[in-house]
Structure formats: structure tokens, C-alpha cells
Structure 1
Amino acid sequence: MKFYGIVVFLAFAAFAQGVPHNGRTKRSISDNLETLVESIQALASEVNEDLGIPAFDPFTDDSVAISINQTLAKLEGELTDLNIDGLSDFSIDTLKFTLIGLKFTFAFTWPNITFSTGYSIDGTVASILPIYGDGKASGEITNLAVSGTVAISVKNSYLYLKSMSSAVSLDDLDIQLSGLLNNDDASALIAAVISDTVPQILVDFQDVISDTVNTAVTEYVDDYLGSMTLAELLALIGS
């Protein structure tokens, strides 16, 4: 979930930059939010030393631990030399903030994301199918859509994330694998199955996936919000 942490950090760091205003034009909070997100897109390939924001498109990491303990899969392993392209190329389908209930509503679509990584993995899928191996993985994701609602509340003068709901879907996945089950023929077959079934798996197991994402993001957001008051948040958004 390290990537989610970086995304959340970038979002709140954008707040800290302030919002450009046109004195002749009255802007809504939602307008200001959209400006902030667009500023994140503009920063994607640059390092901002003043704010401590790393470049995130492409997103790279030498090593990412894998630890999944869910009904669908129980897996342990590692990704190495991870590279993801296209994270900043997304459309803002919905982005709103309402003072009543302190709610953010969002929907974004990434038309094309490509990735490559080395991997080692060991575990089971559906409690009975063994999955293991060391090799390479690469692929392309088409029309990844992420949407949801975040509600914020106040405790002891500081903010915290009260609730979060989210949904994830994609139109197509094309993945290539080597080294899975220590057999390249098996890797090719499994890659084809994964490519064909993941879009539907996201539909069938949406609740499990959403719960996992919501829990991880809540931890990162609360680490940041815990030092911010409501007045400070509204001032940064430009209310």
C-alpha cells in the first residue's frame, strides 16, 4: 500500500501550496479542489524539494513487500525494480466538497497505465491453489476507474477521517509473466487467465478490495490530518 500513501501525501501537500485566485471570479471549494488536483498532475515528473514531494510518474521503487491475507488470496513476496507509467494521466470525472457533513466525493479515470517489475511470491489462491515462483511481470491497464466518498470529522480540535467508501473497476488488463510456478508455459497460461478474469474479479470481490484499500488509505490520511484543524483545511482549499 506504499503507493496509496504517496498519493495521499501528494494530495495534501498540494493543499499546502495554496490555490491561485482570480479576484474578479468567485470560485467554489470544488473548483479550488480541481485546481489543486491539476497542480498535482503538473508536478508528476518533477521533484519538489521545498515540499519534499518526489516525482511519481513514472513511479519507481527498488523493493515493495507483498503481504496479502484475504479470502481470495494469501500471498507473501516481493516486487523488485517496480516501474509504473501513466499515473498522472487521468481525467477528473467528479470532484466535490460539501461543508455539510465535510464530505469529499471523487471519481477519476486513468485511460492507460503500464507497469513492469521483477517478483518473488509464495502462497495460495482460493485457499487451495498454490502460487509460487520468481520472475518478471509486465502489463497494461485500460480505463482504470476509481471513485468514492470521504467524510472528515473533528476530535480535540483536529481532523480525522470518519469514513471512506471506494470502488475500483477497469475495462481491460493485458499481463505477461515469466517464472510463475517455475514454468514459463504455465506462466503464459496463468497470465492469460489473469488478464481475462481480473476485470470481473474486481466486480465480484469489490467489497473485499474496497475494505482493504479503505483501511490502508485511512491510516495514511489520519497521520496527516491529525495535525490539521478544520479552519486550516478550509483556508488551504481556499474557502
Structure 2
Amino acid sequence: MKGVAFFGIIIFLGGGALIGSLANPGVQNALDDFIMAIINNFKNVIVEGNECLGIPPLDPLFIPGFPLNITTALLKMRGDISNIDSTGLRTLEVTSLSCNIITLSVQLVMDMPAFHIGGLYNVDGLAAIIFPIYGNGPFSLDLGNFKISGQGQLGARLNGSLYMRQLDFTMEMETMAIRFEGLLGGGELGEVLNQIINEMGLTVYNQVRAILHDTLMRVMLDFINFSLKDVLLADIIGGIIQPPGPDPGPGCGSTPAMAF
């Protein structure tokens, strides 16, 4: 299907003359700049939401509670996490973006300097088989140098109009600081207590990361397709249409482009 669509674009844009123009760095840069501008405008959606697309503000991002079940050689613990919110998405910055105008693939990297997760926990269990572990109260989980790498695939219809047909992310963090208020142990647990905290923090992080991944992928895909709904690849290449400027978001009255 991708080959058929791209073949249609070649016909639409003038056949063999297009092949030479695609090798021009200026043509590549035009598409890069256009997609970069759309993703930068997505930061407004993070802060303000977008009523037309049914997207609420994402910073803070409220996350449903979930059960906590940890079983390791040193720790068995059950409980739950609730009243979760996270802040920091508004600090998201695109640090690199490149589009391949032949394959219509997109590679991007986004950084979040700091990402905070907070909420309530309630747990009980055993450490080292015999030491009771229990506690409830607020917790905080702070992530540093959070990096999001994205891979996308643009599509082009036979009339030359663009859409983002696929988008996915991988997420990594460099540092993690965890605090569970009221977490108690029997005696001087020392390193065991640190292990408990790390296991709990990693479990919470992995759960939140999965929700963040799905949320970010869905709303960014909707926003990009909304922004591309009237955009022709030929207009970008020819310089007829310029990258969108800073804007709170697209107005109502249109629907997002369908992703095939």
C-alpha cells in the first residue's frame, strides 16, 4: 500500500523530475521543519488540552490507581497505588527530528528534564522471609533526564495529502529518586530497606510508563493528523505552505485525518 501511495505521489508531482528534487537537502529540511513545528505546537495541547479532539490538559496527568504486587527473593509485598498524578510533560523538548522524504519515515528524540509522579500507597508483606514490611501514606517518584525516542511513518494518499499512519515510542530515564512516607521495617534493615524501596519504585515507574506511552502516542497521533488534514506533500516541497506558527491548537469545525 505504501508503494502504491508513493507511486501515486510521483505521478502527481511530475514523475522523474521529482527523484532529483528529493535528493535536495532543502526539500528534506522543508518536511523536517513542518513536522517539527507541529510537534512543538503539541506542547500547547499538553498545557491547555484540545476540546475539538477530546484531549484534556496532560500536565498534570492523572493516572488510574492499580494494584501493587512484588515478588522477589528478598521481598513479597501486596497493596495498591492510588490518587496518582504526574507533572513534567510541559517541559518536553524535541532535541532531534529527521524525516526521510523517500520512505516517509520519521525519527525523533524528545527530552523531559524532570518528571514527577506522586500519589498514595498502602502495602504489607515480608522482607527476607521473616521481617514484616508495611506502610501507607504519600509517595513520590522523581525521574531525571527522561528521554523519549519516537519512530513514525507518514503516509501519502494518491492526491498527495499527508497523514501520520503509525507512531510509537521508547522511554528511558537516567535517575530515579523514590520516597515512601511511613514505610516501616523490623529492626535495622539497611540495605534490605533500600532494595524494598527500589523494587516498589521500579514497579510504579513501569506501570506509569506504560500508561504514559499509550496516552502520549494516542493524543500526539490525533493532533499530528489534525494538523496535517489539509496539507499536501507537493506544497511542502514547493515551499507553497510554510510550517505552522505557534498556536494554541487547531480550531473546531474539522475532523482529524483518518489513519489507514
- TM bucket normalised to smaller: 0.5 to 0.7
CA distance in 2, matches of 1:65, 1:43: 27
* Contact persistence 2:43–2:90 (CA under 8 A): yes
Q: 1:178 aligns with which of 176, 181, 184?
A: 181
Query: What's the CA shift for 1:165?
Result: 6.7
Q: Distance in 2 between matches of 1:74 and 1:44?
A: 38
Question: Counting strand residues as a fraction of each chain, which structure ranks higher?
Answer: 1
Q: Label 1:122 to 1:160 Cα distance change in 2 as closer, same or farther (>3 A).
A: farther
Deviation at 1:145, TM superposition (A): 1.4
**Contiguous gaps of at least 5 residues in structure 2:** 1-25, 157-162, 237-260
> Residue 103 of structure 1: CA displacement?
1.7
* Equivalent of residue 194 in structure 2, options 190, 193, 199: 190
Instruction: Specify which structure has the bigger relative contact order, considering alpha-carbon pairs within 8 angstroms and separated by 6 or more residues.
Output: 2
Report 1:1-239 matches (<5 A): 28-61=30-63, 63-66=64-67, 78-120=80-122, 134-151=136-153, 161=166, 166-170=170-174, 172-180=175-183, 189-190=193-194, 194=198, 217=214, 235=232, 239=236
Secondary structure at 1:53 match in 2: coil
Q: Matches of 1:39 and 1:79 in 2, distance apart?
A: 33
Letter in 2 for 1:177: F
Q: Structure 1 unaligned segments of length 5 or more: list them.
A: 1-24, 203-208
Aligned partners of 2:141, 2:170: CA distance in 1, in Å? 24
Please report the TM-score for the alignment, with normalisation by the length of structure 2.
0.49
CA change 1:235–1:69 in 2 (3 A) is: farther
Higher Rg of the two aligned structures: 2
Query: What SS class does the counterpart of residue 51 from structure 1 fall into?
Result: coil
CA separation of 1:86 and 1:33: change in aligned 2, threshold 3 A: same
Superposition deviation, residue 232 in structure 1: 5.3
The aligned length equals 185
Q: Which amino acid aligns with 2:179?
A: Q
Deviation at 1:177, TM superposition (A): 0.7
